[in-house]
Amino acid sequence: MQATDKASSLDLKAATAQAEHKELQEVAGLYQQAASAWGLAVDNCEGRAQERAKRNLADSEKVLASVSELQGSGPQCESTQKDAAALNGLARQAADDKRYADASVLYRKAADMWDIASERCSGSQQKLAANRRAQSETDAYNAEYCVPVYEQAREQTQRLKSMSSGLSAAEKKELSSKTEIAWREAGAKCRGAAVDIALNNAQALAKERGTPLPPGSYVPTAPAKAAVTATPVQLAAQPAPISQPPKEVDASAGDTRFTGKFTLDPDGKTYSGIGRVSWTNGDVYEGSLARGHREGRGKFTWPSGQVYDGEWRGDAPNGQGVMKFANGNRYEGTIVNGVPNGSGKMEYANGDSYSGDMIDGVPSGRGTFFWKSGDRYSGQWKAGLKEGNGTFSWSNGDRWEGVYRNDQQTDAGKLIRRSEQAPEVATRTTTRSTQ
């Protein structure tokens, strides 16, 4: 047990030094000592203690390899990454304090610092810096344009839930409409998974209310374009690397861990292969990578519980796939840039479902909506509302055929009772039986 205790103590010292951003030489030295101590524990222990020592030895060696790689990139790479990470931390703190303007500025500064880091680093550290730059640019955009309206929509939703029991039907309907508008505005101004969540929340409110928004109450606006300038990474001229076959990799680089079969691409800057990529924030991708981008088939899981499993193109969900949303909804069909667009089927958490054309996650085009009550509508849709020719069938057998405008029946239609259909059905049955 003495060998295990010594190795555990060294592991703790190394992890503490790394968390406190001590010099890489010191951190690497401590992990080297920890790995050596775990090696002695493997030699001196038996049974479960030996298996435990083997696992810890492997983990210490992985972290040591990551730290050594960062060391090899040089002190400028290390110091710039530290500065960029510090700016990211300040930006997150500003966002937590609801100082969104400050957060946006800090995220942009962090993006610039990650850009500098990508110029000063090499190998996987360069790739990591480039990815963090892109994420910081997205965070800067969302802090300025998305978070304020998204938080307002969340507050409006809480207000609706807490006040609904004491409101009249008309007051509840008005507050529900305002909340739906708030979510649609958030969907128009956000990027990434927040768009899906916002639009699904808006659609859920519309279906729960059972009536469309009043005409002219919401006019979609195009989101502002983020003022971010990407600077291409300049690399010193070097011999073209020899292409190697994929090999088993299990290593960490910063906050990213790679597990699977990967190979260095001919440009010497990116990796390709099949495996698992996980981030410390809880994101996980399992599938194929091509030149550092998600390409082909893959599965991405968000910490919120949202999951996408399907085709990827251009480092984004594009093609045929299945999207399971955190609110319980499930979509299977065509995905464009992470959003249901095209032909597919949406199964809602409340038991309803829709099959047909979709634009930006809502029914648009031709399709059929099935309510769990047994009612259904088949026909034309626009922005989630019944619009054009269609047939609404009730579970009791009655149906209405005609033209819809803004989710409402018009004079250009007719109601056909089940009782009116019976003689016609009987006539058809009699005719068939006499032939």
Q: In the prediction, which pLDDT does 234 show?
A: 34
pLDDT of residue 235: 33
Q: Which residues make Cβ contacts (< 8 Å) with residue 284, sequence separation at least 6?
A: 276, 277, 278, 300, 301
47-56, 84-93, 162-171, 364-373: segment of lowest average pLDDT: 162-171
Residue 378 confidence class, pLDDT cut points 50, 70, 90: very high
At 379, the pLDDT band (50, 70, 90 cuts) reads very high
**Which whole number is the average pLDDT over 302-318?**
89
CATH code for residues 2-72 = 1.20.58
Q: Which CATH number describes the domain made up of 304-419?
A: 2.20.110.10
First to last CA, the chain: 92
Q: Which residues contact 426 (CB under 8 A, 6 or more apart)?
A: none
Name, of 4-13, 252-261, 392-401, the range with top average pLDDT.
392-401
Predicted pLDDT at 310: 93
- 197 or 378, greater pLDDT: 378
Of the given ranges (44-48, 233-237, 297-301), which has the lowest mean pLDDT?
A: 233-237
Long-range contacts (CB closer than 8 Å, 24 or more residues apart) made by 12-21: 14/60, 14/63, 18/63, 18/67, 21/82
pLDDT in tens, 195-205: 767 777 887 88
- What is d(CA 81, CA 75) in angstroms, rounded to the nearest whole number? 10
pLDDT of residue 1: 64
**pLDDT in the model for residue 74:** 65
- How far apart CA 83 and CA 88 sit, in angstroms, is 9
pLDDT (tens digit per residue) in 108-138: 998 998 889 888 887 777 888 888 888 888 7
Give 336-356 pLDDT, tens digit per residue: 888 898 899 999 999 999 999
| pLDDT (average), residues 152-173 | 83
CA distance 261 to 253: 16
Which 3 state secondary structure label does DSSP give 267? coil
SS3 per residue for 368-416: EEECCCCCEEEEEEECCEEEEEEEEECCCCCEEEEEEECCEEEEEEEEE
Number of H helices and E strands in the chain, helices first, is 10, 15
267: confidence class by pLDDT, cuts 50, 70, 90: low
- What is the enclosing helix (H) or strand (E) of 22? none
| Angstrom distance (rounded) from CA 100 to CA 104 | 6
Tell me the three state secondary structure of residue 224: coil
Q: List, as own/partner pairs, every contact residues 82-90 make where C-beta atoms lie below 8 angstroms and the sequence separation is at least 24, other chains included.
A: 82/21, 83/113, 84/110, 84/113, 84/114, 84/116, 84/117, 84/129, 84/132, 84/136, 87/113, 88/132, 88/136
CA-CA-CA-CA torsion sign (398, 399, 400, 406): positive
Q: Which range has the top average pLDDT, 76-90, 234-248, 254-268?
A: 76-90
Cα distances (Å, whole numbers) of residue 267 to 16, 115, 237, 238, 264? 36, 19, 11, 10, 8
pLDDT of residue 109: 92
Q: What is the pLDDT of residue 243?
A: 46
Cβ-contact 259, 275 below 8 angstroms: yes
For range 21-29, the mean pLDDT: 76
pLDDT per residue as tens digits for the range 67-113: 676 665 567 777 888 888 888 889 888 888 888 889 889 989 989 98
Average pLDDT over residues 269-284: 81
Mean pLDDT over each residue of the chain, to the nearest integer:
80
Structure confidence by residue, pLDDT tens digits, 212-227: 766 656 555 444 443 3
- What integer pLDDT is reported at residue 307 of this predicted model? 92
335 versus 263: the higher-pLDDT residue is 335
The pLDDT of residue 374 is above 90: yes
> Whose structure tokens read 């990474």?
233
pLDDT at 97: 85
Q: What is the DSSP letter of 119?
A: H
In angstroms, the CA 281 to CA 302 distance is: 9
Domain ranges of the chain: 2-72, 77-209, 304-419
Tally of residues, the chain: 435
Please say whether the beta carbons of 339 and 321 come within 8 A.
no
> What would the DSSP string read from start to end of 42-91?
HHH--HHHHHHHHHHHHHHHHHHHHHHHHHHT-HHHHHHHHHHHHHHHHH
User: Please, what's the b/e burial string for 301-334 (b: 16 or more CB within 10 A of its CB; e: otherwise)?
Assistant: bbeeebbbbbbbbeebbbeebbbbbebebebbbb
pLDDT confidence bin for 324, thresholds 50/70/90: very high
CA distances to 38, 86, 104, 434 from 53, in Å: 6, 34, 45, 85
Matching CATH number, 77-209, of 1.10.1740, 3.40.50, 2.60.120, 1.25.40: 1.25.40
Instruction: Judge whether residue 270 has pLDDT over 70.
Output: no
